Amino acid sequence: MSTTFENVKTPSYVIDEEKLIKNLEILNDVQVRSGARILLAQKAFSAYSTYPTIARYLSGTTSSGLFEAKLAFEEFHDETGEKKEVHVFEPAFCDDEFEEVCRISDHIVFNSLSQLEHHRRTWEKPALEGQLFVGLRVNPEYSTQEGHEIYDPCAPGSRLGIRLCDLPDVLPKGVSGFHFHTLCEQGFEPLKETFEEFEKKFVKYLGRENDSQIKWINLGGGHHITRDDYDRDGLARLVKYIREKYDVTVYLEPGEAIALDAGYLVTTVMDIVKTDRYPVLILDTSAACHMPDVLEMPYRPPLRDSGEAGEKKYTYRLSSRTCLAGDVIGDYSFDKEIKIGDRLVFEDMAIYSMVKNNTFNGMPLPDICILRRSGECDVVKEFGYDDFKCRL
């Protein structure tokens, strides 16, 4: 393990500034080549101490409600203070929050026609005056995922997005954009296929020749644009095609792609328990508390210097100090025997970790650190008892 983490208190999330910037440079290159405007989806990564860095490269943020929108409005700007776009989508907006949502947002996307009309008295005036852009989330009814219906907005019975059959022939007054979000951890081809289906079904609302109301399209997130095998040339061609044919602004809102492989969770082995299978390492971190996607998706997080069970000489089951019997991270093997006090480093821990963690069992939240390009590791946020107590 790199000596960089030897003095980090555990457990700690460590954001890798160099890897984050590499991802941002890739995304900015896509913006330049395609003309797309790329937004940070805060639901995946909201470590706002990095926002000045991200804002140097991206066009804005997208939010899942008022609190994320406020965070973006307050914190997402570069060193010059330049204001970036704030986009908000929520399946239903609370009446007592919506006026503030309108005040701090540039784009608002509604999930239904009933929500659009319910809030019209608040959004209509700024929208018609050009101070706010209002859109509808649509459902192309085209699934590209297998085995993960919980992450499929196009699954039968989905509550997310308006189906073509439920839209009027003429869109409601004030609507200027469409949004769809259908992917999860996927490459370019599923996006291309989804757009082709969207284009076929919704083309009557698009086009230069019919004085379309649609001035912008948001293609959503879930595509791993910064992954090495992602077809970024294909993405640039698709965006340019959409912009040129339909005279619209095109948005992309990746969350994972921005901080993909750009973070770690550093943990210490507290105890080793013998069982009738593999020895179990009791760690000071937790799947249930500190990396919930391990149990929710589920998935096996990458662990530095390890292999699959049985691949290397010593195999262990990695677990936690919570009392939840199923709080198991997975089975891993190592070249050398693990001892109490050893440190382990989980990788790809920037996304969907800090935003989803919790204090079940009174577990302390990990510190948040940034590994600078200089090699220094700065603690930017510490948590304690009050962070547990204040939620209750």
- CA distances for 142 relative to 159, 165, 271, angstroms: 14, 14, 48
Domains and CATH numbers, the chain: 3-14+263-349+357-389 (2.40.37.10), 35-259 (3.20.20.10)
Structure tokens at 91: 């399946």
The DSSP secondary-structure symbol of 172 reads P
Structure tokens at 293: 């996607």
Model pLDDT, residue 211: 61
Q: Which of 218, 241, 230, 356 is nearest to 287 (CA)?
A: 356
Q: Which of 186, 177, 86, 180 is nearest to 145 (CA)?
A: 186
Q: Which of 184, 201, 118 is nearest to 146 (CA)?
A: 184
CB 231 within 8 A of CB 187: yes
Q: How far, in Å, CA of 369 to CA of 92, rounded?
A: 34
Model pLDDT, residue 208: 60
Q: Locate tokens 């971190």: which residue?
A: 285
CB 226 within 8 A of CB 27: yes
Three-class DSSP category at 250: strand
Per-position pLDDT tens, the chain of length 392: 344 688 899 999 999 999 999 999 999 999 999 999 999 999 999 999 999 999 999 999 999 999 999 999 999 998 888 889 999 999 999 999 999 999 999 999 999 999 999 999 999 999 999 999 999 999 999 999 876 778 899 999 999 999 999 999 999 999 999 999 999 999 999 999 999 999 999 999 997 655 678 999 999 999 999 999 999 999 999 999 999 999 999 999 999 999 999 999 999 999 999 999 999 999 999 999 999 999 988 889 999 999 999 999 999 999 999 999 999 999 999 999 999 999 999 999 999 999 999 999 999 999 999 999 988 999 999 999 999 999 99
Q: How far, in Å, CA of 196 to CA of 170, rounded?
A: 22
Q: How far, in Å, CA of 269 to CA of 282, rounded?
A: 6
Model pLDDT, residue 366: 98
CB 222 within 8 A of CB 91: no
Model pLDDT, residue 82: 84
Q: Locate tokens 């989803």: which residue?
A: 356
Residue 277 main-chain phi, psi, to 5 deg = -120, -120
Strand partners, 15: 263, 370
Q: Please, which residues have CB within 8 angstroms of residue 170's CB and are 6 or more apart in sequence? A: none
Model pLDDT, residue 104: 97
Model pLDDT, residue 209: 57
Model pLDDT, residue 341: 97
